[in-house]
C-alpha cells in the first residue's frame, strides 16, 4: 500500500510530482543501485500481490450520475442526432448490515436530443426500490431483473406533457438495469459461480457466472458470454482503484413490449458491449464505469413493415459527492 499512498499524494499535490517520480521510479543521476532495486521490489509486490476485490462494501450512502448517449446509424452509414440521457441515483443503506440491502432513489431523469433543451421525466422523481440479495444469493426478485418493476416505465411523459414512445421508455428502464449489472452483478461477489472474487491478481481473467444466461422476463432475454479481467490499478478523483474490464463477447437478445392491450412490439437482435469498472480499494464501491455498445436489431410492430436498426451507445457512471449531486438535481 506504500506505492498507492505515494500515488495518491502525487495526484493531489502536483507540486511534488517530480520528487515522487524520482522516489518511485528512480533517477539515473541520483539513485543508487540499491535504491533502484528496492523501488522495483516494492512495485513488484504491489503489481504481483493478491487482492480481495469482493470484500464487503462499507455501509454508507452513495450518489451516482449516469449518462448515456445513443446514436442510430442508417443503412448508408449516416448518423442520427444523438440523444443523451442522464440518471441521478441515490443509494442508502436499508439497515445496519449489508444483508439488509440498499434502497435506491431516483432523483432525476433527463433527456436531450441534440442541442434541444433537455426535458425531465417527472413520474420517476423520488421513485425508490430496494435492492438486496435473495436466498440463493442473486439480485433478481419476483421474476424481475434486480427487482425493478418495468410497469413503472409504461405510459411515461416528459415535463412538456409529451408521451414517450415505447422504445424511449425501454432505454430509460435499461439504464437502471445496466447500472446494477455493472455496479452490483459484476462488481460484487457472485454466490453460485465465477465472479469478481476470483480475480485475485492483476492479469487474471474469468468467465462470469452470468454467461449464457437467458432470463425469461417480458422485456429482455439475453444469451451472453461475459468475461471479467483484472487489468490493473489506477487513481480516480484521488482515490486508489482497481480496474476491472468486462466484455460481453457474443450476445443476442429478444424482448417484448406491450404498450397497449392491442399492441405488441417484438425486438430481436445482437449486441456487443465492453468497458471498465474502477472499484475503490478501500470501500469496494464503484467509483467510475465506462461502457460502449454496438447493437443490431429488428423491430416488428403488428402488420407494419419491420424496422432494422444499428445503434451505438456509450455510457459513463460516476460516483459524486452529495453537493454535486444536489446541484445537478436542482439544475432546471
pLDDT of residue 143: 67
Q: How do strand 263-280 and strand 286-301 relate by DSSP bridges?
A: antiparallel
- Cβ atoms within 10 Å, residue 179: 22
Q: What is the DSSP string of 254-318?
A: EEEEEEETTEEEEEEEEEEEEEEEEEETTT--EEEEEEEEEEEEEEEETTSPPEEEEEEEEEEEE
Residue 108, exposed/middle/buried by CB under 10 A (0-12, 13-18, 19+)? buried
What's the half-sphere exposure (Cβ side, CA atoms, 13 Å) at 257?
Answer: 21
Q: Indicate the angle between helix axes 2-12 and 17-25, nearest 10 degrees.
A: 160
Q: What is the value of pTM for the model shown?
A: 0.82
**Whole-angstrom distance, CA of residue 197 vs CA of residue 202:** 13
Q: What is the DSSP letter of 157?
A: B
Strand partners, 111: 85, 119
**Whole-angstrom distance, CA of residue 73 vs CA of residue 161:** 28
**Whole-angstrom distance, CA of residue 85 vs CA of residue 66:** 8
Tell me the pLDDT of the chain (332 aa) as tens digits. Answer: 444 444 443 444 443 333 333 443 444 445 677 666 666 777 777 888 899 999 999 999 999 999 999 999 987 889 999 999 999 999 999 888 888 889 999 999 999 999 999 999 999 999 999 998 876 667 766 667 888 887 899 889 999 999 998 778 888 999 999 999 999 999 999 988 899 999 999 999 999 887 665 543 444 445 567 899 999 999 999 999 999 999 988 777 777 766 666 777 788 888 899 999 999 999 999 999 999 999 998 888 777 888 788 999 999 999 999 999 999 999 86
pLDDT of residue 25: 41
Strand partners, 310: 73, 296
Joined together, the cell numbers standing for residue 42 give 516494492
| Alpha carbon distance, N-terminus to C-terminus of the chain | 43
pLDDT of residue 37: 67
pLDDT of residue 214: 53
Joined together, the cell numbers standing for residue 136 give 440463493
Q: What is the DSSP letter of 122?
A: G
Q: How do strand 286-301 and strand 102-113 relate by DSSP bridges?
A: unpaired
Q: What is the DSSP letter of 141?
A: B
**Whole-angstrom distance, CA of residue 318 vs CA of residue 182:** 12
Amino acid at each position: 500500500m506504500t506505492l498507492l499512498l505515494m500515488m495518491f499524494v502525487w495526484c493531489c499535490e502536483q507540486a511534488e510530482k517530480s520528487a515522487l517520480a524520482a522516489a518511485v521510479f528512480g533517477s539515473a543521476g541520483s539513485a543508487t543501485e540499491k535504491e533502484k532495486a528496492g523501488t522495483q521490489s516494492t512495485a513488484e509486490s504491489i503489481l504481483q500481490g493478491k487482492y480481495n476485490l469482493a470484500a464487503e462494501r462499507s455501509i454508507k450512502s452513495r450518489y451516482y450520475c449516469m449518462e448515456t448517449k445513443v446514436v442510430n446509424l442508417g443503412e448508408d452509414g449516416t448518423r442520427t442526432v444523438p440523444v443523451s440521457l442522464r440518471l441521478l441515483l441515490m443509494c442508502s443503506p436499508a439497515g445496519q448490515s449489508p444483508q439488509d440491502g440498499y434502497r435506491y432513489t431516483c432523483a432525476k431523469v433527463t433527456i436531450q436530443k441534440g442541442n434541444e433543451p433537455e426535458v425531465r421525466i417527472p413520474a420517476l422523481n423520488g421513485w425508490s426500490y430496494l435492492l438486496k440479495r435473495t436466498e440463493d444469493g442473486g439480485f433478481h426478485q419476483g421474476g424481475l431483473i434486480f427487482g425493478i418493476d418495468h410497469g413503472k416505465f409504461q405510459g411515461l411523459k416528459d415535463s412538456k406533457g409529451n408521451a414517450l414512445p415505447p422504445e424511449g421508455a425501454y432505454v430509460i428502464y435499461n439504464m437502471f438495469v445496466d447500472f446494477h449489472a455493472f455496479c452490483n452483478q459484476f462488481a460484487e461477489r457472485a454466490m453460485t459461480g465465477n465472479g469478481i472474487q476470483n480475480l485475485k491478481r492483476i492479469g487474471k481473467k474469468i468467465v462470469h457466472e452470468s454467461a449464457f444466461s437467458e432470463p425469461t422476463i417480458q422485456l429482455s432475454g439475453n444469451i451472453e458470454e461475459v468475461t471479467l479481467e483484472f487489468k490493473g490499478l489506477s487513481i480516480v478523483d484521488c482515490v486508489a482503484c482497481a480496474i476491472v474490464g468486462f466484455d460481453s463477447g457474443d450476445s443476442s437478445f429478444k424482448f417484448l413490449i406491450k404498450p397497449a392491450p392491442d399492441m405488441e412490439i417484438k425486438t430481436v437482435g445482437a449486441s456487443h458491449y465492453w468497458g471498465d469498472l474502477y472499484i475503490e480499494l478501500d470501500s469496494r464501491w464503484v467509483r467510475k464505469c465506462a461502457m460502449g455498445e454496438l447493437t443490431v436489431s429488428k423491430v416488428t410492430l403488428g402488420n407494419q413493415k419491420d424496422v432494422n436498426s444499428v445503434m451505438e451507445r456509450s455510457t459513463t457512471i460516476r460516483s459524486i459527492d452529495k453537493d454535486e449531486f444536489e446541484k445537478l438535481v436542482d439544475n432546471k
